[in-house]
């Protein structure tokens, strides 16, 4: 049984310890609230931390985490705050450790294509800095995301199809355990088979096992001879089939994204891409790049041919910067554009994050459309349903916009979509993580024994359960301490 | 404190349980010895298991592992038996579970580019089967290696530079824990952020955490328009520089391997590549392939230019099948060819497996040559020293051939090379694993706190310490049970 002591006396003792080491912190209610309760992931007031600490170094992080562990005070880490599903909520109260003061680039190794950074650095800022060297870090989630949170959630984005997710782009981590021990999981070589893969164990562990304080990231050369393209189809399946054929031929484009008709409608309605009106049919967005123009031309002609074979009604490809920005801008705005489909400002917006083997993707989307249409009809409402996918990875975000009073039933439809993905050999979350909301779905995905296995790892590395309790799985199983 | 009960009565009780479930097993001394004591990794007679089990299914594996765990009987798993460094030795005695009866291909998903297999299947046999579909599994260690052991050791080979190691090519695992619980870590989608990454935790864990009984592997289309090339340089550094320049340009060849002059000498002396005599200078071996001949030609001309810039004395590239086989055959025979440099049949052959960031690779090789020359001179002997590397990954195997009586001092030189790699921000093992021999080196790489972190994961998943005890780290730390 885990017990926490969040009494005023205990918190004050922690504050004294922090002051003794000059560790920056605040009790400001607005700041405290902002660390747990975000637009992306609202949390109730009792899930607000009592203090927010701002360590500047690995050493300070170690001091404060050990002090919390010694006092049985729960710790919720904070990075960019763009995650979904409740990963930031301080469910047990306790304190927040925010990494916003640790945002330096420590070293860039151009010949090795890697960079050493602190966890509070944003990927956008990192790429701004790397641009002049002709390099970039390819993982591209929400613009506000920071490296620490990106590791915690094992995120990805539109570049994952070509460059991989965080799992493929983190070389090593320095982390602090609840004991205060500091472990560097790995040095800087590209590969290693030296013992357990602690790096990957921490990626996606949502801050429940250790706090990451320094990271070596893999870099890539900036794409050359970039072209952006767009193809219209009459069905989602046609777009999927282009991707399947492409990969069998051994081509790997820079990016491949597929949006259905309603998603394209939302782009038009939103006014977020005002430079042109898009056709409201399934649309494949893609990027092509390569070390030479010949190589790119070759890929473009293959792509045109495959789109034609699948019955594309139009294919356009451009390397004009302004046109590329308009087309890719339309893809990038979709997350926000879907909000424009609210008929009433109080309407709610829910979405899934399933990924399936690509051969099952069209079935997932068709099944999703059916589920939403059925629920919508049963409630004599016209819910808005849209699907947009990181198609190369089989990852699709299905969205529902519906009246607020349908929240419960819409949530149950999202869960049905998630179960449909599982029945199609998929995962309940491709890139957003489990947080609080998908804990039961996780148990359906890996089984109770899988969750028990995770729980026993948690218990081994964080015996008092102080690190981000209740995320990924409930900290306690039916009131008792976890055991295998 | 872990205690094992390998008494005859306890082993007999296990055998009764196995017989009750019709689980195939043998007491044959030759077979028992062959599971622990191999040419690659000799083990003394007291490291031989008492019984070898041959489960046919996940269920049988679960029954036998649980029965061992219930009885505190140590279990050493066996797959292909090609690993180095003692991973197969039954240090505590106990039993062996061999996966040679579980070697089926369960399903091939061509559109998803994945395959479901059992752990006893060899990668060579898998690729034989996949060939007619135009697909292959790219991880290429020793020809006798089986998928289960490849996962255990997190191996790689000459294709890792392009396709990644086991870490990048395993999608999911079904594993059996000592409790007998069966966990499937993941379904079949290409990406997931659903909870802890149990897949990667098991890859490279050397059979110390769970036994893998089913695997989903990522496949790739067979390379098209394959060319094989060879370039001669006057220094190792020049070859390294070609690779650095190539990756900055965004080119990724199929394979890049660099051998030094003495390695090339061993190829000539061995007679293993009799069709031609190779120049005994640093030699870059490479493969170029791509979806079209235009793309390949483009890469070839870039490669030729970069080799010329670095002062290559010759560059040849061919797509004639017989010539490709001769050149790549020379690369592939090196592991055996080096044995030909023994002056006396009792001479010993030792090698390292370090990987460093590529910018430090030439320093590692130069430092290695110095260390070996110094030791050789100090012993008034002429040790043979050779270096061959998976250059794109910064992974180099440095070999010593020397008289048997120099074993201890040669081993200490290998450890010095390993420490040199650590000082150059490298790893003590790029692809062979820790086994018994590199346990102290692992502690130097990840620190005592890193090993303690691994040890506590081991203790959580295998509380009685039955699974492959003493591999990766000693099962007990100074006589006491592990704790964080």
pLDDT (average), residues B110-135: 98
pLDDT at A480: 47
Whole-angstrom distance, CA of residue A296 vs CA of residue A446: 41
Six token digits for residue B242:
């070609």
Q: CB pairs below 8 Å between A and B: how many?
A: 326
> Percent of chain B scored above 70 by pLDDT?
99
Q: What is the pLDDT confidence band of residue B478, given thresholds at 50, 70 and 90?
A: low
CA B379, CA B42: separation in Å to the nearest integer?
Answer: 26
Mean pLDDT of chain B: 95
Which A residues in the span 169-198 are in contact with B, Cβ-Cβ below 8 Å?
177, 179, 181-198
Q: Is A78 helix (H, G, I), strand (E, B) or coil?
A: strand
Q: How far is A1 from chain B (nearest CA, A)?
A: 17
Q: B452 — contact with chain A (CB < 8 Å)?
A: yes
pLDDT for the residue numbered A478: 57
CB < 8 Å to A196, chain B: 201, 204-205, 209, 454, 457, 472
Q: What value does the CA radius of gyration of chain B take, rounded to a whole number of Å?
A: 23
Q: Cβ separation of B204 and A221 shorter than 8 Å?
A: no
* Subunit contact A450:B394, Cβ cutoff 8 A: no
pLDDT at B476: 80
Contact between B430 and A193 using a beta-carbon 8 Å cutoff? yes
Query: Under a CB-based contact definition with an 8 Å cutoff, are residues A214 and A106 in contact?
Result: yes
Residue of B141, B159, B194 to mutate for A, most A C-beta atoms under 10 A:
B194
For chain B, give the secondary structure using H, E and C: CCCCCCCHHHHHHHHHHHHHCCCCEECCHHHHHHHHCCCCCCCCHHHCCCEEECCCCHHHHHHHHHHHHHCCCCEEEECCCCCCCCCCCCCCCCEEEECCCCCCEEEEECCCCEEEECCCCEHHHHHHHHHHHCEECCCCCCCCCEHHHHHHHCCCCCCHHHHCCHHHHEEEEEEECCCCCEEECCCCCCCCCCCCCHHHHHCCCCCCCCEEEEEEEECEECCCCCEEEEEECCCHHHHHHHHHHHHHCCCCCCEEEEECHHHHHHHHHHCCCCCCCCCCCCEEEEEECCCCHHHHHHHHHHHHHHHHHCCCCEEEEECCHHHHHHHHHHHHCHHHHHHHHCCCCCCEEEECEEECCHHHHHHHHHHHHHHHHHHHHHCCCCCEEEEEEEHHHCEEEEEEEECHHHHHHHHHHHHHHHHHHHHCCCECECCCCCCCCCHHHHHHHHHHHHHHHHHHHHHHHCCCCCECCCCCCCCCECCECCCC
Whether B482 has a pLDDT exceeding 70, the answer reads no
Q: Mark which residues 308-367 of A lie under 8 Å from B by CB.
A: 355-359
Asked if B110 has any chain A CB less than 8 Å from its own CB, the reply is yes
Distance, CA of A99 to CA of A78 (rounded, Å): 6
Residues in chain A where the model's pLDDT stays below 70 = 478-484
Within 8 A of B459 by CB-CB distance, chain A residues are 460
Closest CA to A79 of A105, A51, A55, A106: A55
- Give B361→chain A minimum CA distance, Å: 10
- Structure-block tokens of residue B370: 């110095």
- A446 has a chain B CB within 8 A of its CB: yes
∠ CA A213-A218-A222 to the nearest 5 degrees? Answer: 130
Give the gap in angstroms from C-alpha A368 to the nearest C-alpha of chain B. 17
* Closest of B241, B220, B19 to residue B131, by C-alpha: B220
Q: Across residues B471-480, what is the average pLDDT?
A: 77
Rounded distance, CA B442 to CA B432, Å? 13
pLDDT band (50, 70, 90) for residue B483: very low
ipTM rounded to 2 decimals: 0.96
Rounded to an integer, the average pLDDT of B179-205 is 97
Distance CA A191, CA B421 (A): 13
Instruction: Please say if the pLDDT value at position B479 is more than 80.
Output: no
Candidate from A40-44, B352-356, B433-437 with smallest mean pLDDT = A40-44
Within A180-254, strands assigned E span 182-184, 211-218, 220-221, 227-232
E strands within A87-166?
95-98, 105-109, 114-117, 135-136
Kindly report the nearest CA distance between residue A130 and chain B, in angstroms. 13
pLDDT, position B105: 98
Answer whether A401's CB lies under 8 Å from A392's CB. no
Determine how many CB atoms are found less than 10 A away from the CB of residue A231: 25
Chain A residues 212-241 within an 8 A CB cutoff of chain B: 220-221, 223-224
Instruction: Count other Cβ atoms within 10 Å, centred on residue A70.
Output: 16
CB contact under 8 A, A434 and B201: no
3-state helix, strand, coil in chain A (%, to 5): 40, 20, 40
Per DSSP, the three-state class of A468 is coil
Q: Touching check for B430 and chain A: CB below 8 Å? A: yes
* Contact map slice: A 118-177 vs B, CB within 8 A: 134, 153-156, 160, 164-165, 167-168, 177
Average pLDDT over residues B458-462: 98
Residue in chain A nearest B392 by alpha carbon: A190
- Chain A residues with CB under 8 Å of B220 CB are 250
3-state secondary structure of A153: helix
The residue in chain A having the minimum alpha-carbon distance to the alpha carbon of residue B357 is A189
**Residues B294, A290: C-beta atoms closer than 8 Å:** no
With CA atoms as reference, the chain A residue closest to B225 would be A250
Q: Dihedral (C-alpha) B159, B162, B163, B166: value to the nearest 10 degrees?
A: 60
Enclosing H/E stretch for A384: strand A384-390
> How far is residue A288 CA from its own chain's centroid?
24
Q: State how far residue A358 is from chain B, nearest Cα, in angstroms.
A: 6
Cα separation, A368 vs B406, in Å, equals: 69
Distance from the Cα of B153 to chain A's closest Cα (Å) equals 7
Minimum distance, in Å, between the CA of residue B56 and any CA atom of chain A: 22
**Tokens, residue A135:** 């390099």
CB distance A169 to B332 below 8 Å: no
Q: Which residues 232-291 of A are in CB contact (within 8 Å) with B?
A: 244, 247-251, 290-291
| Contact list, A472 vs chain B (CB under 8 Å) | 195-196
What are the residues facing B348 on neighbouring strands? B402
Pairing type for strands B182-184 and B170-176 reads: antiparallel
Among B141, B195, B237, the strongest candidate for a mutation testing the A interface, having the largest count of A CBs within 10 A, is: B195
- Residue A480 gets which letter from DSSP? B
């Amino acid at each position: 049984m885990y017990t926490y002591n969040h009494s005023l006396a205990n918190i004050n003792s922690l504050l004294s310890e922090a002051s003794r080491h000059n560790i920056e912190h605040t009790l400001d209610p607005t700041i405290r609230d902002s660390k747990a309760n975000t637009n992306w992931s609202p949390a109730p007031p009792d899930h607000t931390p009592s203090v927010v600490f701002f360590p500047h170094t690995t050493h300070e992080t170690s001091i404060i985490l050990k002090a919390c562990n010694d006092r049985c005070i729960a710790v919720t880490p904070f990075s960019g705050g763009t995650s979904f599903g409740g990963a930031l909520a301080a469910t047990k109260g306790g304190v927040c450790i925010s990494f916003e003061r640790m945002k330096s680039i420590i070293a860039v190794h151009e010949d090795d294509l890697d960079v050493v950074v602190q966890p509070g650095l944003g990927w956008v800022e990192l790429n701004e800095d790397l641009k002049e060297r002709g390099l970039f870090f390819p993982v591209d989630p929400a613009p506000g995301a920071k490296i620490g949170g990106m590791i915690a959630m094992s995120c990805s984005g539109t570049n994952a199809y070509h460059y991989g997710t965080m799992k493929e782009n983190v070389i090593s981590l320095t982390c602090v355990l609840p004991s205060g021990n500091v472990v560097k999981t790995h040095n800087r070589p590209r590969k290693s088979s030296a013992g357990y893969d602690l790096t990957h164990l921490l990626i996606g562990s949502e801050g429940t096992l250790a706090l990451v304080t320094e990271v070596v990231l893999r870099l890539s050369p900036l794409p050359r001879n970039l072209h952006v393209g767009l193809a219209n189809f009459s069905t989602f399946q046609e777009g999927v089939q282009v991707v399947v054929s492409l990969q069998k031929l051994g081509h790997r484009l820079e990016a491949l994204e597929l949006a259905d008709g309603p998603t394209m409608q939302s782009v038009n309605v939103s006014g977020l891409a005002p430079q042109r009106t898009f056709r409201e049919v399934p649309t494949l967005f893609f990027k092509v790049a390569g070390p030479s123009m010949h190589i790119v031309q070759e890929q473009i002609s293959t792509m045109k041919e495959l789109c034609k074979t699948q019955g594309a009604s139009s294919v356009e490809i451009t390397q004009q910067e302004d046109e590329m920005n308009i087309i890719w801008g339309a893809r990038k705005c979709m997350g926000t554009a879907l909000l424009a489909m609210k008929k009433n400002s109080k309407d709610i917006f829910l979405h899934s994050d399933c990924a399936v083997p690509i051969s099952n993707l069209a079935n997932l989307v068709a099944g999703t459309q059916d589920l939403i249409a059925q629920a919508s009809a049963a409630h004599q409402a016209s819910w808005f349903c849209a699907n947009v996918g990181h198609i190369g990875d089989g990852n699709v975000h299905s969205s529902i916009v519906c009246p607020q009073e349908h929240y419960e039933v819409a949530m149950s439809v999202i869960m049905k979509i998630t179960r449909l993905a599982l029945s199609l050999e998929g995962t309940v979350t491709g890139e957003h993580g489990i947080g609080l909301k998908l804990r039961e779905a996780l148990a359906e995905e890996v089984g109770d024994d899988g969750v028990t296995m995770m729980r026993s790892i948690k218990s081994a590395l964080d015996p008092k359960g102080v690190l981000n309790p209740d995320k990924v799985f409930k900290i306690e199983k039916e009131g008792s301490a976890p055991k295998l």
